[in-house]
Each structure stands twice: as structure tokens, then as C-alpha cells.
Amino acid sequence: MKKRFLEICVDSLQSALIAEEAGADRIELCSSLDVGGLTPDPALFMLARQKLNIPIHVLIRPRSGNFVYDSLDEELMVESIRFFEKHGANGVVIGALTDQNAIDVPLMEELMKATASLSVTFHRAFDQLANPTEAVDILYKLGVERILTSGQKATAEDGLPLLQQLLEVVEKKLIILPGGGVNSENAAKLLAIGLSELHASVRENVNYSTSKPNVSLSLGGLPDEYRYADYQEIVKLHNIIHPHET
């Protein structure tokens, strides 16, 4: 049996620490999960690196919106990769497309040059591809190690048919990492088709404050509420993916 990994996507130091304590094997570190995740603040990464013992893969995404990038976006992504590689990241999560929903190979080649010895995951830009199965060989030749995908559906559970097809296409070349709505209710179903890694961003609402916010001023979301990683849900996922450790 392939070694199994539970990757938890987090966008705060608190969530990173919760994820490790609850049994995550690896984290994907980002910011702004509410817009799908962006490149994290360097200070967040540095503190996470100091405090965590598990591997940290860093999302490299300079802005929200689509995955078609210009030359300035490219410069920023390259410098971000170099920074995180220099300061102890174990991997990066990257992706870039053309306006025809194909992999932007020239841009990906430049990003790959900056990764040095880092593990590389191609992120959910994959779910926008017009020809996902044909992209597998391109990503393998680029040096990508894994593909994060929901099977081009709203959730990985709904995307099971394509995930199964991708497993057959990749053989042992690449790791298929299912993400999108992964939780303790569907994790076993995903593992049953032969997937060896799971990606989840399970969170719960938190409201520790007793302050009285100015409700007439909205800065996004509820004025006194935020979300951290869900400890109990991660424990459940850990127990499903590592049953012999319980």
C-alpha cells in the first residue's frame, strides 16, 4: 500500500498549529481561503516554519481570479518561490493557464526553474483545463509531483469518475491529490478508488471576542467572526487515512 498523507489547507498560524496537533501529515499554507487561497505573508510562513514539525507546502498565487498571468505576475511568483525555498518550505503549489484553458508551458517552465529541490503540486487550475487527461503527461515532463483536483466538479466526491480515470492515466508517474469538499463523510470513498493522499480545508467558525463592533462598517464577513481549522474534523480524517494508528 502506498504511504498515505493527509494535507490540510490553512490560512492562519492558529490553523496551522491546530492542523498539526490534530494529526495532519502536511499543510498547504496560504492566505485568504475565502477567495480560494493566495500566496501567504512571509511572516506567516516564517512563524509556521519555526513552530511546525510537519512539511509545509506553500501556495503561490499572486491574486484572485483566473489563472492566466502576465509578466509581472510571473516575476512575483518566481520571487515568491525563491523566498520560500530559501527559508525552508518543503514544497510549493503552483499553476498557470493560457486563455485557451491549457497549461501555460513557458510560464510553468520558468516557475519550475525556481523550485530547485522543492516538491511541486499543480493546483486546482487543473480543474479549468479543457483536456485534463492530456495534461498529465505535460505536467510529468515539467517535473510536477502531484495534481490537486476535484475531478473538475464542485467537490471531489462528485468528481470521482474523472479522479478514477486520472489514476489510470498517471499510473505511478504522479500523485493525484483530491481536494474540494473533502471531509470525514466522504474520505473513505475517495481512498477506496486507490487515492493515497487527501487535501481538506475543513474549518469552523470562531468568535472569542466580547467586543461590540461597529455593525454599520463592514470589512467583509461578519464583524466579529472568523474561521480556524476544525480540530475534531481533522482528527476524524486522520483516523480514516491512518486507521492502524488509532
pLDDT given at position 204: 92
Average of per-residue pLDDT values in the chain:
94
Domain limits of the chain? 5-203+218-245
Confidence band for 208, pLDDT divided at 50, 70 and 90: low
Per-residue pLDDT at 219 exceeds 70: no
Per-residue pLDDT at 67 exceeds 70: yes
The average pLDDT across 93-106 equals: 98
pLDDT given at position 213: 58
The average pLDDT across 164-168 equals: 96
Q: Which residue has the higher pLDDT, 102 or 221?
A: 102
- Distance between the two ends of the chain, CA-based, in angstroms? 18
Residue whose C-alpha is closest to residue 68's, from 37, 99, 39: 99
pLDDT given at position 245: 72
pLDDT given at position 42: 98
- Name the pairing type of β-strands 203-206 and 226-229: antiparallel
The average pLDDT across 128-146 equals: 97
pLDDT given at position 209: 60
Beta strands in the chain (DSSP E): 5-10, 26-29, 56-59, 91-94, 119-122, 146-149, 175-178, 197-200, 203-206, 226-229
The average pLDDT across 40-63 equals: 99
Percent of the chain with pLDDT over 70: 92
The fold for domain 5-203+218-245 equals TIM Barrel (3.20.20)
pLDDT given at position 224: 58
pLDDT digits 0-9 by tens, 7-32: 999 999 999 999 999 999 999 999 99
Helices 132-142 and 105-115, packing angle to 10 deg:
40
pLDDT digits 0-9 by tens, 178-206: 999 999 999 999 999 999 999 999 999 88
Confidence band for 145, pLDDT divided at 50, 70 and 90: very high
pLDDT given at position 222: 52
Helix (H, G, I), strand (E, B) or coil at 236: helix
The average pLDDT across 97-108 equals: 98
pLDDT given at position 206: 83
pLDDT given at position 244: 80
pTM summary value: 0.92
Confidence band for 142, pLDDT divided at 50, 70 and 90: very high
